[in-house]
Amino acid sequence: MGRYDDCSILDDNGKPYQYVAIRKDITDRKKVEEMILRSEKLALIGELAAGVAHEIRNPLTSLRGYTEFLKDETTEEEKQQYFDILLDEIQRIDFIVGEFMLLAKPKVLQFSNKNVISTLNHSVNFLQTEAKYKRVTISKQFEVDEAIIQCDENQLKQVFLNLIKNAIEAMPKGGDLKINVKKVSGKVIIELEDQGVGIPKEKLQHLGEPFYSTKEQGNGLGLMVCFKIIKDHKGTLEVESEENVGTTFKIILPLVK
């Protein structure tokens, strides 16, 4: 991305015979502007969450309690199914509110030196059963066995679980999820490459924004939290995608050693 300033050189008759173009690369500036805009959106959604999440959770607790009570008092099987549906939907609302709360009142990160390979392996193992059920093969291509970083392990697990789960859901007919890890110039690079439906170019730039999701029932908060966690770890989260080919999420984190 660049900006061009053109000027012409005139001959004796006042006609241009040569042009000089000066190019100024503004790619870095645009990236900084995008980061500032994302930070402002995070702050805005945090303020909104702080004012709304608590007010939602109070009546939600009452709804869950009375629904469970009515379910216990009901013997008709058909009505039991209705209560199960209600409880599932209440649980889904509670999960969304939980993501709001994470943005409104972020936890104090507990940083320590951890081998991110072990954390990643744990996350993969946790979702292996779901992947197998949905005919997704997870293949690991790790160039290193150890990559020590300063991190809050639970927070990073949340990122890995979210991205792996998204990749599995992006392949409704099954496929292969490749997870690559390598070290480059004092950083560890973790790539999650799926063979899913992909994301249109016009939607890529909006990933990580609140309430923007490529999934029908998505709210966009999960991916937004991922971007925030990686930023808090002084890393970057990049996305490349092509429709009907797949999507690659690239996590770049600084190494301790």
Residue 255, helix vs strand vs coil:
coil
Record the tokens describing residue 29, joined without a space: 């500036």
* DSSP per position, 201-228: HHHHTTTTSTT--SSTT--SHHHHHHHH
Look over the chain and give the mean of its residue pLDDT values, rounded to a whole number: 79
d(CA 110, CA 98): 20
Residue span(s) of the chain under CATH 3.30.565.10 come to 112-254
Which of the following CATH numbers is that of domain 31-104: 2.30.30, 1.10.287, 3.30.310, 3.30.70? 1.10.287
Give the model's pLDDT for residue 42. Answer: 61
d(CA 223, CA 2): 30
Question: Which CATH number applies to 112-254?
Answer: 3.30.565.10
Give the model's pLDDT for residue 219. Answer: 45
The model's pLDDT over 96-112, given as tens digits with 9 standing for 90+, comes to 676 666 665 556 678 99
Answer whether 232's CB lies under 8 Å from 125's CB: no
Residue type, 90: I
Residue 36 backbone dihedrals phi, psi, to 5 degrees: -65, -45
The model's pLDDT over 44-97, given as tens digits with 9 standing for 90+, comes to 666 666 666 667 777 888 888 888 888 888 888 778 888 888 888 888 787 767
Give the model's pLDDT for residue 21. Answer: 59
Q: DSSP assignment, residue 189?
A: E
Give the model's pLDDT for residue 150. Answer: 94
Residues of the chain with pLDDT under 50: 1-4, 211-212, 217-219
Residue span(s) of the chain under CATH 1.10.287 come to 31-104
d(CA 86, CA 133): 26
Q: Which residues contact 90 (CB under 8 A, 6 or more apart)?
A: 60, 63, 64, 67
Residue 170, helix vs strand vs coil:
coil
Query: What percentage of residues in the chain have a pLDDT greater than 90?
Result: 33
